[in-house]
Amino acid sequence: MVSATLFSPSWKKLPGFRMYMKASRFLLGLFLALMVAGTFYDLNVFGRWYIQDGEIASSPKPNVENGTATTEGALGDEKESTGGIELEGAVNDISGRNVVNRRAERGRSSKALLAFSLATNAPAVLSLKRPESSMGALDGIRVLSMIWIIWHHVKVMLEFTLEEHISTKCDRKEEHISTKCDRKEERISTKCDRKEERISTKCDRKEERISTKCDRKEERISTKCDRKEERISTKCDRKEERSVRNVTEKRNVSVRNVTGKRNVSVRNVTEKRNVSVRNVTEKRNRSVRNVTEKRNVSVRNVTEKRNVSVRNVTEKRHRSVRNVTEKRNVSVRNVTEKRNTSVRNVTEKRNISVRNVTEKRNISEIFYRKKYEKDHASPQHRRTPCVDSFFVLSALLVTYLTLCKIRSNGGRIRWWRFYLNRYLRLTPVYAFCIIMYVSFSHWLGRGYLKNRSYDYEASRCRQYVWSNLLYVNNCIPDPFVLSACLGWTWYLADDMQMFVVTLSSSTSCRDPTIIISPGVEYLIYSNVLTRIQSYMVGVFCGYILYKYKGHPVKIPKAWNTVGWSLSITVAFICVFALGFSSYENPLPAWFVRLWHGCHRFLFSCTVGWIAFACVTGNGGPIGKFLSWEVWLPLSRVSYCVYLFHPVVMLHYVLTSNDQLHWNTYTSVYMFLSFFVATYTVSLAVSLLVEVPLLKMTKLLLDQRPRTQ
């Protein structure tokens, strides 16, 4: 699973993907096999081992007792021997059990193997015993340099993470404020639109009700007037009919009377008849004319009344519609003003919040910029000279131990064995760190700084892992930028390249440790040519110590005092000189150029003097302090600390969701936390991975006869 996660899905399309998968599985299996084999080798042959200044130094000594040659410490005490026999019996008994018992036996055997590995390797790593011929002062220099590196790296991490925290937090706060204001404006706009819609619907319905009411009233008035006209017409018709009937009856009566008097005078009757008919006709016409006039007057009155009622209803409708329209306009105007006021308030609140966040960011940037300018006078301030101390120590031990090895072998030495030993001792733990770094990159929590940069670096690690395993990652893929994979391991590439060039190695020197100081020009900072001067100072010191080996070196007290005073002064200048400069009050240009050109060499000379004086017994209290036995176990895990303590810091930075506060308490607290966590992780890796693999390397490259 680890090997499968080592490559991104895009690599599956490449022709050599299967080969890479097989190679990664093979390497992982090889590492595990070497760990197990190293533990069993320790159990059956050499017994207890302990590391002395980076070397597994527990040579078996012949112990002739009762005529039988044995190996001292081959099997350890009776308890360990019994445990080994039980473990062997458990392994042999696995094949005859079922699946459940097989798993249980495997679990017990793995736990027993792990416990035995810890029991045998822990004393070797944590032992305070040091050989008399070892250079104990170098352990103190190495550990103190590592403490300096961790402290410096904590400050560098705070510089980068604090600014990133502030910027990220301000950006997120601005985004939150903008989103909140946009949502509030959207809610206000939606609310006002709905209110306008309700007002418009209400006014439309009211206008519709008024129009319907007026139409019905006009209809009632028209119906009433029509009915009244009809009644008047019917009444007039009936009255006219009655008048005609009365006239007819009266005529008949007259005719009858006239007929009865016909004999008297036809002429008089006819005249009277004509007069009566004319009178009746006139009366009838007058009655009809009166009824018609009365009808016309009534109809005219009804029509006028209808027109007045319709005009009143129309005016009332127009007045109601006008009132409703005015009420609607007033309501819409009020809603619009309320919306504009709310939007203006929200916009002002947003602007104030954004301005406050921007001012807070600017104040923080100004504060940290001033602190940056105060504490770091140069763009190259992160180039801690502690890097050069590790080059000096590495070259010193390589030169001294190689010359001693050549002299002990009569001037003959197998260089290929030295190169292979160096590669096998550095690469397994290095590859294990890369596998863990890439495989567990997506398992980390997501904090403020968990962004695409870390995933990008992990993907580049999958692509350029071969450059790390070949120790050319200081110039591949691009020498002008930081390394693509585990950028802080540029030191291993520089040291390996200088080791190959000098044609020397050591089987007992401890691998130094260093941490990259990010943010500087990679071409100048990690180029092997810019570090060769420190390495050559270490070579010179190692040669001097070799020449004085076995001979007491007594430096006169006056010259010893001058040497220590001069070294302390030079070290103070190399470390703190640019601290008295700032962008407002810079140091002279000639001094800055001189410092950048000479500070590495001078600091390397200071470290070389301290190492020489302490090893030769002229260190005084400083030599005793650097030779303190407490530094020995811390120095033994320095290689694992070198590889894993940036990973621990990176894990904290990527999983942190709280803003850091830059002060002395925070720096000290984080330094102590990282120091304890890093050494705990490094101790576990050293016990479970590094020491067993070193034992296997010792077994593979052992030059002693096989009979031993």
Mean pLDDT of 137-145: 81
Residue 598, judged by CB atoms within 10 A of its CB (0-12, 13-18, 19+), counts as middle
More confident residue, 507 or 22: 22
The stretch 597-626 carries a mean pLDDT of 85
User: Of 140-149, 281-290, 326-335, 514-523, where does mean pLDDT reach its minimum?
Assistant: 514-523
Spell out the SS3 assignment of 184-204.
HHHHHHHHHHHHHHHHHHHHH
The tokens of 216 are what? 């019905």
Instruction: Give bridge partners of residue 62 from the DSSP assignment.
Output: 71
- Specify the DSSP class assigned to residue 442: G
Say if residue 397's pLDDT is above 80. yes
- Between CA 87 and CA 94 the distance in angstroms is 11
How would you class 452 by CB atoms within 10 Å of its CB: exposed for 0-12, middle for 13-18, buried for 19 or more? exposed
* pLDDT of 630 over the 80 cut: yes
In this predicted structure, the answer to whether residue 50 has a pLDDT above a threshold of 50 is no
How far apart, in whole angstroms, are the C-alpha atoms of residue 11 and residue 24? Answer: 14
Q: What share of the chain is helix, strand, coil (3-state, %, to 5)?
A: 75, 0, 20
Say if residue 646's pLDDT is above 70: yes
**pLDDT-above-70 percentage for the chain:** 62
Please write the tens of the pLDDT for every residue from 665-689.
778 888 888 888 888 888 888 888 8
Check residue 54 and give its pLDDT. 34
CA distance 553 to 613: 9
d(CA 377, CA 151): 19
Residue (of 429, 391, 432) closest to 526 by Cα position: 391
φ, ψ for residue 551, nearest 5 deg: -120, 130
Q: Which residue has better confidence, 507 or 460?
A: 460
**Lowest-confidence segment of 407-411, 426-430, 584-588 by average pLDDT:** 584-588
pLDDT of residue 258: 59
Q: What mean pLDDT do residues 10-29 have? A: 50
- Reduce the DSSP state of residue 53 to 3 states and report it: coil
pLDDT score of 97:
42
The tens digit of pLDDT for each residue in 410-453 reads 767 777 777 888 888 888 888 888 888 877 666 655 555 555 45
Task: Pick the range with the lowest mean pLDDT from 92-106, 141-155, 218-232, 234-248.
Answer: 92-106
Per-domain residue ranges of the chain: 167-372
Task: Return the amino acid letter for 28.
Answer: L
- Percent of the chain clearing pLDDT 90 (strictly above): 0
Q: Is the confidence at residue 16, as pLDDT, over 60?
A: no
